[in-house]
Amino acid sequence: MSEPLTPDLPEDEAFAAEHALGVLNAGERAAAELRMAREPAFAAHVEAWRERLAPMLATILAVEPSTRVWPRIERGLPVNDNSERGVRFWRGWAMGGMGLAAASMAAVVVLATRPPEIIAPPTPGQLLNARLDTSGGQHLFVAAYDPVRQKLIVTSLVAPGTDPVHVHELWLIPADGKPRSLGQIEPGTSKTLPMPQGLSAMAKEGAAIAVSVEPQGGSQQDGPSGPVAAIGQLAKI
């Protein structure tokens, strides 16, 4: 049996294809998601492979979920309504291009229709937590904020040693949408960071915590200079 010779995929594309297929372990998946945030060419490979493999999903039998699911989803939404506005705008700014235009428009629409809102201050001692995930929905970091001690505990789920050329910088993005640096976190570690003076009042339910990928030493700008790898919002546990 003669087989036509197929050249191997270039390493980058092979890794992208493996990510799209789903064979990578947790650490490798996190590394792949970070690369997607940082390297548009790599992200394009992953997207292309997802499209290539997607027809397999079409062969899966569609099954009606029970009618109780939608009401549960709807109940889950108001939390986001209250808190995403500044973040959306900021995210668009971080991504630039089409994203910027779309996000700015979204922000304008949303701000114009903003209902009055009352956000109760957190009860003393109540922790706020956030899961920071990528655009692909993968959790990369978890954070918990203690408003009484004014400390943020962050854990990186990224495999240790991933991408030693860059650092991961944490940001607090409060309601005004302007990111404030909180420091850096090493892949695979946990860390307790004091909330800087003046920021603790802003670290409340609905504020976002994000991680950007930065050159050694962190961002030299007033805000992230590299791509945002993961983002999540503080919510009551």
Partner 1 sequence: MPATSAIDPLTELMPRIAAGDRAALRQLYQATSAKLFGVCLRILSNRDESEDVLQEVYITIWRRADRFEAGRASVMTWISTIARNRAIDRLRARGPLAYAEQVEELEIDDGQPRADALLEAAQDGEALGRCLSELDERTEKVIRTAFFEGVTYEALATRMDAPLGTVKSWIRRGLAKLKGCLES
Q: Which residues bind partner 1 (CB under 8 A)?
A: 4, 6-9, 14, 17-18, 21-26, 44, 47, 49-66, 68-70, 72-74, 76-77, 80-81, 84, 88, 91-92, 95, 98-99, 102-103, 105-106, 109-110, 113, 133, 135-139
We find the least distance from the C-beta atom of residue 11 to partner 1, in angstroms, to be 10
On whether the CB atoms of residues 33 and 160 are closer than 8 A, the answer is no
On whether the CB atoms of residues 30 and 140 are closer than 8 A, the answer is yes
Residue in the block written with tokens 């030493």:
217
Question: Between 49 and 145, whose beta carbon lies closer to partner 1?
Answer: 49
Question: Between 84 and 186, whose beta carbon lies closer to partner 1?
Answer: 84
Question: Between 58 and 120, whose beta carbon lies closer to partner 1?
Answer: 58
We find the least distance from the C-beta atom of residue 158 to partner 1, in angstroms, to be 15
Report angle CA 221, 141, 22 to the nearest 5 degrees. 115
We find the least distance from the C-beta atom of residue 46 to partner 1, in angstroms, to be 9
Question: Between 47 and 222, whose beta carbon lies closer to partner 1?
Answer: 47
We find the least distance from the C-beta atom of residue 119 to partner 1, in angstroms, to be 17
Question: Between 75 and 216, whose beta carbon lies closer to partner 1?
Answer: 75
CA distance 116 to 205: 16
We find the least distance from the C-beta atom of residue 106 to partner 1, in angstroms, to be 5
